[in-house]
Chains A and B, each alone.
Chain A
């Protein structure tokens, strides 16, 4: 079998780390807003720094993606799916960066302190404006649900590639089947 062109190790580590963080974040978020038990404030305390971490890692990842070659999609993929793959990745990146920014902006507009950990508070990025707070708070929920939807499609597509098409797409991110990396082929 031909060798697989992998994503760079750095890109793969970022991908799987962020996959865990984003799923954790979506579940923390939905539990947080549907409970009034003491878990509420512990989840809120976790949600804010985790969200900012995702924002920072997403920026690193975006720069990394621009700088380092990405394995191409297989030629056998129809153009429509190629376009869907491209668009869904743009949406994923936009939400990985946009969702934490909306969260940060919403807390800023609501005059909430954006506490990372006790004693460390981020500055507001928007002026105090309750109507804006209400609008951004709703936007935050909708964007989170859209992110969850895109993550589900992403997961289903990855499994389709890995289990049904059995092409190079899934192993390029898991690092399976062979050892060639995108870094090697670029050099």
Chain B
């Protein structure tokens, strides 16, 4: 065999043949490295966000990298049939689908204190009996503070605490806001929102735009909100307790079911779908797509919401992503967070089983 190779190399162009043998795999390796972003530093990946959350919130193994403090809830969603003309997703028909949800506080600190103005979120996993599940993570703010993943990473980094002072450097955020007037406007809307007493009387917004697709294939841009049946009460004053939002929720559920209406807003001509910092004008058509009923709270420790991810791109047939760039980024980042925390040792969460059923172990 070696003789045959030597013979070839001795011929005219023989070395060119050897070069070709080496070049093909080398080019493939280079192309792979290029695709992976290894040759150009600074590509924004899910890993970038893991590092950013680590810088902002510190390491908290075993917990979600964002919305780390939470509690599981269960119940069901009952479609009203009203949204069927916009989306062919099975869960909008007049039927009941089981739900595993999660209330949480925004931020990566699993033991942070509850405070009225902290952003509250509701994550839902709606599982129609015959398939077509829908997952979402929705928040009690009117708009998202940034337009895309890169801006979100910069926004988070601008809010990171300084190692010496343990407080954010205000000049960092000022510099970010100077470059991002859309974030200034969004934060003004966030600040102006009416705070409620807790999770139960709060409204949670999709912030991102999606597309509903009906039986005829007609595509409708939508946003949605979970609007509580519970009457809004004013927020608690100081000294309510470090877990008061969660304890109030647990107590409310112990007294009876809590209900929200899934109110779908139909985008009009000219409404931006690609930019979650911009609110759609008031007066858009709204459809009451069904009622969410939550009946039970459970600690994340052993609870049904711990071992899943509320990836906002797990959509049923009949709902599709829009040109909004944020859901794809959330999907990628949640997946990375889910892998990391699932492989890490578990620490008991702030809202323990004892918090929910006092007296039981």
In the complex with contacts A26-B32, A36-B328, A155-B24, A134-B342 CB distance below 8 A: yes
Contact indicator A41/B321 (Cβ below 8 Å): yes
Complex CA–CA separation, A31 to B43 (angstroms) = 11
Contact indicator B307/A111 (Cβ below 8 Å): yes
Contact indicator A36/B329 (Cβ below 8 Å): yes
What is the chain A residue whose CB lies nearest that of B344? A134
* Contact partner, A38, options B31, B35, B328, Cβ 8 Å: B328
Complex CA–CA separation, A133 to B37 (angstroms) = 25
Contacts of B342 in A (CB 8 A): 110, 130-131, 133-134
Residue count of chain B within 8 Å CB distance of chain A: 52
In the complex with contacts A110-B338, A163-B20, A36-B44 CB distance below 8 A: yes
Contacts of B343 in A (CB 8 A): 131, 134-135, 138
Contacts of B29 in A (CB 8 A): 152
Complex CA–CA separation, A133 to B342 (angstroms) = 7
In the complex with contacts A36-B44, A40-B332, A121-B131 CB distance below 8 A: yes
Complex CA–CA separation, A160 to B28 (angstroms) = 16
Contact indicator B32/A38 (Cβ below 8 Å): no
Query: A-B contact count, CB below 8 Å?
Result: 130
B101 nearest CB across to chain A (Å): 15
Complex CA–CA separation, A83 to B185 (angstroms) = 68
Complex CA–CA separation, A163 to B7 (angstroms) = 12
Contact indicator A36/B333 (Cβ below 8 Å): yes
> At the interface, yes or no: B202 with Cβ under 8 Å from chain A?
no
* Contact partner, B325, options A38, A78, A110, A151, Cβ 8 Å: A38
> At the interface, yes or no: B253 with Cβ under 8 Å from chain A?
no
In the complex with contacts A38-B328, A159-B24, A110-B309 CB distance below 8 A: yes
> At the interface, yes or no: B308 with Cβ under 8 Å from chain A?
yes
Question: Which of A4-12, A91-99, A112-120 interfaces with chain B?
Answer: A112-120
Complex CA–CA separation, A72 to B326 (angstroms) = 54
Contacts of A138 in B (CB 8 A): 339, 343
> At the interface, yes or no: B354 with Cβ under 8 Å from chain A?
no
> At the interface, yes or no: B269 with Cβ under 8 Å from chain A?
no
B41 nearest CB across to chain A (Å): 12
Complex CA–CA separation, A35 to B325 (angstroms) = 12
> At the interface, yes or no: B8 with Cβ under 8 Å from chain A?
yes
Contacts of A30 in B (CB 8 A): 32, 35-36
Contacts of B4 in A (CB 8 A): 76, 164-167
